[in-house]
Amino acid sequence: MLSPMDDYPVHQIAEPIRHVATSDRNFYDRYYFNCYPTESPDVFLIVGLGQYPNLGVMDAFAVLRRGDDHIVARMSKALGADRTDTTVGPLRIEVLEGLQKLRVVLEPGSEYDLSFDITFDATIPAALEPKHFRRQLERVTFDTSRFLQTGTWTGSLTVDGEDFAIDPKTWRGNRDRSWGVRPVGEAEPQGRRAVDGIQNFFWIYAVMQFDEFTISVIMQEDEQGRRIVEEAMRVWPDEARDNEWLGRPEHELTFCPDTRDVTGAR
């Protein structure tokens, strides 16, 4: 099962690019984007696309929040041999310049009142996060890498017949790319793992874009409050300037009494 990428010297294992290094069904390779206007908090767009080589599937979605409404588009298809093909039905992602500029398109359709053609332009270098690894009941359940970027958006967005001009002076967002092994949604087979296999119990992932820099905060804790992965990092636009470690991140959460519903956080 060769693909055009096999013509490039990028192989990591003694297999075609189509085949990943593990046969774990939970191996994935994903894009995530968000897009919002700084002057109007009523509109917020999220887009994602994931490939699952050992399941033979590629999924994608777009969801836009406008006021109290959510408009959602979902699509899925069989994953072919060419993993550089990042088109799923009406949605596609184009890498115009690696680690800098990407185009994200959702063509108009009759099943949803949402379409867009927008281009992300990074304002900081791609920042690699700490490796995320967890073993549960002797099996590796998390073994992932991810990088993040903040940037600006350019293009156009249509919501229920209303057109928005996406101006990079006022539209911002962040994106990440992650890949590896993590639970992908299918239920575990019956047995002990299906009962005792607790997944991420507590997770905070906050990316904050300022005019001069970006701050990324990550905290994951298990069911006993032990840290599994953490990060507090300031990323500067200047590639010659090292990312700045800000120390151990902490959190204070306020819960609704007798529930796990969070009403506030610091």
Could you write out the DSSP letters of every residue in 188-216?
PPSSHHHHH-----EEEEEEEE-SS-EEE
Between the CA of residue 184 and those of 52, 118, 162, 225, what are the distances in Å? 9, 27, 35, 24
pLDDT value of residue 205? 94
Could you write out the DSSP letters of every residue in 122-144?
ESS--EEPPPEEEEETTEEEEEE
Between the CA of residue 17 and those of 83, 135, 146, 157, what are the distances in Å? 8, 27, 19, 35
**Contacts of residue 38, Cβ cutoff 8 Å, sequence gap at least 6:** 170, 171, 172
In one-letter notation, the amino acid at residue 190 is Q
Render each residue's pLDDT in the chain as its tens digit; 266 residues: 788 889 999 999 999 998 999 999 999 999 999 999 998 778 999 999 999 999 999 999 999 999 889 999 999 999 988 999 999 999 999 999 999 999 999 999 888 899 999 999 999 999 999 999 988 888 888 999 999 999 999 999 999 999 999 999 999 999 999 999 998 877 777 777 666 656 667 899 999 999 999 999 999 998 788 899 999 999 999 999 999 999 999 999 999 999 989 899 89
Domains and CATH numbers, the chain: 4-192 (2.40.370.10)
C-alpha–C-alpha distance, residues 76 and 78, integer Å? 7
Cβ atoms of residues 168 and 152 within 8 Å: yes
The phi, psi pair for 219, rounded to 5°, reads: -145, 125
Cβ atoms of residues 72 and 63 within 8 Å: yes
Cβ atoms of residues 62 and 46 within 8 Å: yes
Q: For the whole model, what pTM was predicted?
A: 0.92
pLDDT value of residue 111? 85
pLDDT value of residue 196? 66
Cβ atoms of residues 177 and 48 within 8 Å: no
The phi, psi pair for 24, rounded to 5°, reads: -55, 130
The pair of structure tokens assigned to 140 is 């590796």
Within 13 Å, how many C-alpha atoms sit on residue 135's CB side? 3
Between the CA of residue 252 and those of 209, 227, 264, what are the distances in Å? 22, 15, 8
